Amino acid sequence: MIPRIGKGLMVGIRFSCQTMFKRRYLLITNTLTGGSLLALGDCMLQNWENQKEPHRVYDWMRTGRMFVSGCTMGPPMHYWYAWIDKRFVGTAMTTVCKKVLLDQILASPVMALMYFVGMEVMEGHSLSDGWDEFIGKFWELYRADWCIWPATQMIGFYFVSPKFRVMYVNLISLWWDTYMSYLKHRTDCTFEVTLYNGEVYSLSITQNILKLL
């Protein structure tokens, strides 16, 4: 009985996976995967935050907003990779390098803009507030992006089948999503320092540094 149950379960999983990655369902799969993994990244971060602050209450609305944000970025990513695979066909090194460069220069900033602005709007803030947060945190995010994603995308464009590419990026990005949640929900305090000659400088200190002071 147990082997039959196990065999039936494996057949069911295999059928479900084959259905998920069929062309007609691929957009839905990529969309839900993006939302689920961004929400999971936030769950991991909040669990870590709760360990550091035992009296902190888990914010399910925040996780829900992360899920919606991930779902909104799923379709653009789906169509972006579909377009770039049609525009640059093959796995020659020069072709892969072109794909990676375009992905870094075009797709990454757009996805970051959608993320910060979308999250701010869902939190009840204005578009201008989202733009200000994007400007304030983009370069930190973008520097980290260049450290991680070029190599990841080289592997993806060279070895991974196009229909699995968004799934591959989403799985690799689980830890990246945790970092994005940290960057979004991190509290920064800005101080203005006036020197003896009258010059004014702005100093930004993160919440984690403030806890050490």
Query: For residue 154, is pLDDT > 70?
Result: yes
Question: Within a 10 A sphere around the Cβ of 91, how many other Cβ atoms?
Answer: 11
Q: Residue written as tokens 């829900």?
A: 64
Question: CA distances (Å), 39 to each of 115, 174, 212, in order?
Answer: 13, 9, 29
Query: For residue 144, is pLDDT > 60?
Result: yes
- Tell me the residue type at 102: L
- Identify any residues that bridge with 190 across adjacent strands, giving them in sequence order: 204
Among the listed residues 171, 189, 162, 151, the one whose alpha carbon sits nearest the alpha carbon of residue 38: 171
pLDDT digits (tens, 9 = 90+) for 13-40: 343 444 444 556 788 888 888 899 889 9
pTM score, whole prediction = 0.73
What residues contact residue 172 under an 8 Å CB cut-off, 6+ apart?
A: 152, 156
Report how far Cα 3 is from the mean position of its chain's Cα atoms. Answer: 39
Asked whether the beta carbons of 202 and 190 are under 8 A apart, the reply is yes
- Domain spans of the chain? 24-187
Asked whether the beta carbons of 29 and 22 are under 8 A apart, the reply is no
Asked whether the beta carbons of 34 and 76 are under 8 A apart, the reply is no
Question: Coil, helix or strand for 118?
Answer: helix
pLDDT digits (tens, 9 = 90+) for 71-130: 999 899 889 988 998 899 888 889 989 999 999 999 999 999 999 999 999 999 999 999
Q: How far apart are CA 175 and CA 38, in angstroms?
A: 9
Asked whether the beta carbons of 154 and 100 are under 8 A apart, the reply is yes
Residue 55 phi/psi, 5° resolution? -90, 0
